[in-house]
Amino acid sequence: MSSHSKRSEKKVTTQILREMKTRGEKIACLTAYDCTMASLVDAAGVDVILVGDSVAMVVQGLDTTVTVTLDHMLYHAALVRRGVERALVVGDLPFMSYQVNSDEALRNAGRMIKEAGVEAIKVEGGEVACEAVRRMVRVGIPVMGHLGLTPQSIHSFGTYKVRARDQEEADTLLRDAVLLEEAGAFAIVIEKVPAEVAKKVAAAVDVPVIGIGAGPHVDGQILVSHDMLGLYTRFQPRFVRRYANVADDMQDAFSRYRADVRSMEFPSPEESY
Ligand code: KIV
């Protein structure tokens, strides 16, 4: 049982996140991909739960996020939604579900809201995404942007290294953040950029800027739950702080179970009918 009573707190909305930025109160965000994990994250008082397309890597066992489909995302988002009472639930739109044209983007964002029941969607990209963002916002779909290292573009980046280290890319990032805010985005994730660049972005826009590998001078932080739990161990980016070693605990539990089955220590008379 969590020490945090989520029932005692108000449901998180995009307006509340904006107020938190104004008050200088940091926003805690994590990913989740299923109901059980989502309910634990929610009970801990985390403000935003992102059903990230990182599901491709940490659940589906793939090397990138680019192949995950809209149907996969709808499935996982619906599971997460079922487990959450307080946090704002944001569903990632996967690669090529919003880039072809803004009609398709709008239709797919609408499916996330209507079929999965999420309260907001996330798209990657700056200026290029703005037309779609504007149309979604106009019909009442809250949109979170995502700049910096945008994993859906990994094949054009060629590497997961830090972005916006040079002035030109830092300037573009700042401009994209302003354009996303003008298009109506309620928050912007910035991933793996120097802390000083992220600081300038957070100061330049009124909407909350949520960092992942973007240093401390932003309005909130997000991590992939499987990374911070030490559950996904294929690699660990420098920006991940591990709060547990769940993979070790699980491995140990599975091994002890196997040994107990082999030795007939399990089940005991008390565990039998
Ligand atoms: O897919 C994801 O989990 C994300 C976060 C890393 C921001 O986009």
124-165: pLDDT as tens digits: 999 999 999 999 999 999 999 999 999 999 999 999 999 999
Angle between helices 70-82 and 102-111 (to 10 degrees): 30
Do residues 142 and 79 both lie within one domain? yes
Q: Is the pLDDT of residue 265 over 90?
A: yes
Distance 32 CA to ligand 1 centre (A): 10
Residues 103-131 have a mean pLDDT of 98
Total domains present in the chain: 2
Q: Are 208 and 168 in contact (CB under 8 A)?
A: no
Nearest residue by C-alpha to atom 3 in ligand 1: 52
- Nearest CA to 162 out of 194, 189, 188 is that of 194
Q: Is 270 a catalytic residue?
A: no
Burial label for 269, CB within 10 Å (0-12, 13-18, 19+), is exposed
Ligand 1 centroid to Cα of residue 224, in Å, is: 7
Q: Tell me which residue range forms the domain holding 251.
A: 246-273
- What is the pLDDT, as a whole number, of residue 1? 42
Residue of minimum CA distance from atom 4 in ligand 1: 52
Alpha-carbon span 268 to 273, nearest angstrom: 10
At residue 55, φ and ψ (nearest 5 deg) are -50, -30
pLDDT of 117 strictly over 80? yes
Pair 221, 189: CB distance under 8 Å = no
The reply to whether 195 and 269 lie within a common domain is no
- Based on the fold, state whether residues 238 and 117 are members of the same structural domain: yes
pTM passes above 0.85: yes
Distance 65 CA to ligand 1 centre (A): 9
Claim to verify: residue 28 and residue 150 sit in the same structural domain: yes
Same domain for 252 and 138 = no
Q: Which two tokens stand for residue 20?
A: 């938190």
Nearest protein Cα to ligand 1, atom 2: 52
Catalytic residue, candidates 119, 124, 181, 191 = 191
Q: Are residues 53 and 163 in the same domain?
A: yes
DSSP-H helix ranges across 139-166: 154-157
Reported as a single tens digit per residue, the pLDDT across 2-31 is 445 555 589 999 999 999 999 999 999 999
